[in-house]
Amino acid sequence: MNSPGSTIAAIATAVAANAGSVAIVRISGPKARAIGQRVFRPAGGMGQVWESHRVQYGHVVEPASGQVLDEVLLLYMQAPRSFTGEDVVELHCHGGLICVQRVLEQVLTNGAEAAAPGAFSQRAFLHGRLDLTQAEAVAQVIGARSRRAAALALAGLDGGICRRIEVLRQQLLEQLAQLEAHLDFEDDLPPLNPEVVKETVQVVAEGLSQLVKDSYQGQCLQRGLRIAIIGCPNVGKSSLLNYLGSHDRAIVTDLPGTTRDTLEAELSLRDVPITLVDTAGIRKTSNPVEKLGIARSRQVLTQVDVIILLFDVNLGWSEADQALANEIPEDVPHLRVGNKVDLLDQSKYQSNGKLESSLTISTITGQGMEDFTDALLRCCGLTDLERLDTSLNCRQASGAQKAIEALT
């Protein structure tokens, strides 16, 4: 961590080749302006007045030699009117890898410390610009993997979590005030109704319980879900991955054992970020390469949130399918799905009650995919997502759970 009172600097934008045309180097702390004046040469001359929240055009240079490192825009924000509450200088330079790195190196050479991860948000919290829930929401906004996750994170950044907690806190404080008043002035006040106190405590505990329950869905939206597809060879696992991923990621043939390693696809289902893992078909084989893929498939089953067990609905539920079902860890929820329903003889389908009650799809025609998506999200515990307006992170949910235990 950076020492208190130090001036810190870091690249505040994504850094990668061709990542963008503009990159920002941020400097925050008591020496931010002095460092900026050492490395920046305004186009209007060194006598140009630095005004807070006014953009200047010029160049970043190496002070000793005067060598120009980049053409930049400089923005100076005087304390406390900045994100961190300190003096802040931002150098808006060309994007990519080289220019922004050279600018940062010059800033660090002239007196700034390299900012530790989260250092700017930490200073915003310490200077009262953000409360702790808002400071934590900054990282969630940056790391959001879907629009819904971004909306929840922005609600936290806007103080939504703090407001929800404050409502519950005020209810407890009101009852605490009543209890303390009756302890000090019992003879001057009407009798205390214990049922009112119990009811208030119960309401607060239920409110916290709902926040904890919602936090699971919010955390799933933030980090995403890992879902494995397993099944006997040639039941259409790779076809399902390709269908959901909207383009060919796996080789699809009629030959059993085509997928000999796990394949992953990043996708979004109803704005829920998902990593879909296509596994090698688990079966007995003498092929050493396929054996390695099958071993990895078994390992994957312990590392995912949900498992899709795919079978060929035309062949029905076989002993091999049941053997696969027996491999699924007890603590991992799973969904049984019959594929290739488009090839099914409807008269046989209607007469088979077991198959008729199964969830069936076709990765060729798309038949049953809406029902499949509904069932998959239910299996993941993600229902009524439209109702979510705020979400606690892991630390906050743990604190809320401890509060519930103290109240009950």
Per-residue pLDDT tens digits for 284-310? 666 666 667 677 777 888 889 999 999
Query: Who's near 386: CB < 8 A, 6+ residues apart?
Result: none
Judge whether 51 and 84 are in contact, CB under 8 Å.
no
Helix H or strand E segment including 26: strand 22-28
Q: Please name the residue that has the structure tokens 């029905």.
A: 316
Q: Cβ of 405: how many Cβ atoms within 10 Å?
A: 10
Q: Cα torsion at 143, 146, 152, 158 (round to 10°)?
A: 60
pLDDT for res 266? 86
- In degrees and rounded to multiples of 5, residue 315 shows phi and psi of -90, -10
**What domains appear along the chain, each with residue ranges and CATH number?**
8-129 (3.30.1360.120), 131-219+389-408 (1.20.120.430), 224-367 (3.40.50.300)
Alpha carbon 277 to chain centroid, angstroms: 19
Q: CA angle at residue 330 from 327 to 332, to 5 degrees?
A: 95
Which pLDDT score, from 0 to 100, does residue 177 have? 92
Supply the pLDDT for residue 386.
83
User: What is the spatial distance between Cα 311 and Cα 323, in angstroms, rounded to a whole number?
Assistant: 12
Cα 340–Cα 343–Cα 349 angle in degrees, nearest 5:
90
> CB neighbours of 180 closer than 8 A, spacing ≥ 6?
none
251 and 258 in contact (C-beta within 8 Å)? yes
Give yes or no for a contact between 58 and 72, defined as CB atoms under 8 angstroms apart.
yes
Question: Residue 255's pLDDT is what?
Answer: 40
Supply the pTM of this predicted model: 0.77
pLDDT of the residue at 280: 64
| Whole-number CA gyration radius for the chain | 29
Identify the residue whose tokens are 């400097």: 27
From first to last of the 408 residues of the chain, give the pLDDT tens digit: 788 899 999 999 987 767 678 999 999 999 999 999 999 999 988 778 899 999 999 999 999 998 999 999 999 999 999 999 999 999 999 998 899 999 999 999 999 999 999 999 999 999 999 999 999 999 999 989 889 999 999 999 999 999 999 999 999 999 999 889 988 887 788 888 889 999 999 999 999 999 999 999 999 999 899 999 988 888 888 888 888 876 444 333 444 444 445 678 888 888 899 998 887 666 666 666 666 767 777 788 888 999 999 999 988 888 888 988 988 999 999 999 999 998 887 655 554 444 544 689 999 999 999 999 999 999 988 888 888 889 999 999 999 999 999 998
- Nearest to residue 39, comparing CAs of 13, 58, 14? 58
User: Which pLDDT does position 49 carry in this prediction?
Assistant: 83
Describe the crossing of helices 32-39 and 98-109 by its angle, rounded to 10 degrees.
Answer: 120
Nearest Cα neighbor of 94 from 12, 11, 22, 14 is 22
Q: What is d(CA 238, CA 226) in angstroms, rounded to the nearest whole number?
A: 16
As to burial, measured by CB atoms within 10 angstroms (0-12 exposed, 13-18 middle, 19+ buried), residue 231 is buried
Assess whether the previous peptide bond of 273 is cis (omega < 30° from 0).
no
Do residues 341 and 361 lie in contact, with contact meaning Cβ atoms separated by under 8 Å? yes
